[in-house]
Amino acid sequence: MLSTSPALESLITAFSRLPGIGRKTAQRMALFTLRQPRSEVEELITALQNVLERVRSCSTCFNITETDPCAICSSSRRNHGLVCVVEEPNDVFAIERTNDYKGVYHVLGGTLAPLDGIGPEDLRVRELIERVEKGMDEVILALNPTVEGEATTHYLSRLLKPLGVRVTRIARGIPVGADLEFADDATLVRALEGRIPV
């Protein structure tokens, strides 16, 4: 069903492009926006404009930033010899939440996905190699433990090891606070394989 206002219709179409938003939800969001005080809608418009104009990708690590290089890459408090390779900027946020990691990052932009035709040339692999060649002590591969993530981890480790850098990966296993009896077989196998001396 078409709305009676082309402007509202175009807003519904724009909202429905958001991930996980269907047309019905988009319609509710558009009507909600319409009912808001003008100041709040203007705030939303400004926020969107700011994101569009200011936010870009860091030319070093490819994380989301407003300054280039980003705050992490330009920080003198960070260990620039330690790089953590992640799939997406979301993963940088997750690791930064721990307040424990003091190295820098490299956002790969995804993983190898053979069925979708995504190969190394579609990811920021070449840029990672260039960074490592300039001098790095350790590369931590922190990709998701999916089949595609594992394939990418193996692919990268094969490329990086000949460069003389230490290549490590994050551990896989039982989440903190979880019960062993509810862990699935694959996770338990990996947890046993990755056991460490105490």
Residues lying near other proteins in the complex (CB under 8 A) = 19-20, 112-117, 119-120, 145-148, 150-151, 154-155, 158, 175, 184-187, 189
* CA dist., res. 150 & res. 178, Å (int): 23
- Closest CB 186 distance from other proteins, rounded Å: 4
- Residue 76 DSSP SS3: coil
What residues contact residue 1 under an 8 Å CB cut-off, 6+ apart? none
- If the CB atoms of residues 165 and 174 are measured against other proteins, the closer one turns out to be 174
CA neighbor of 141 nearest in space, from 101, 168, 103:
168
* Between 14 and 147, CB nearer to other proteins: 147
Q: Which residue, among 97, 95, 74, 77, has the nearest Cα to 86 in the 3D structure?
A: 95
Count how many Cα atoms sit within 13 Å of the Cα of residue 153 in the half-sphere of its side chain: 18
Taking the complex as a whole, how short is the minimal distance between the CB of residue 78 and other proteins, in angstroms?
28
Q: Which is nearer to other proteins, 53 or 185 (CB)?
A: 185
CB of 190 to other proteins, least distance (A): 9
Q: In the complex, what is the shortest distance from the CB of residue 39 to other proteins, in angstroms, rounded to a whole number?
A: 29
Q: Which is nearer to other proteins, 81 or 119 (CB)?
A: 119
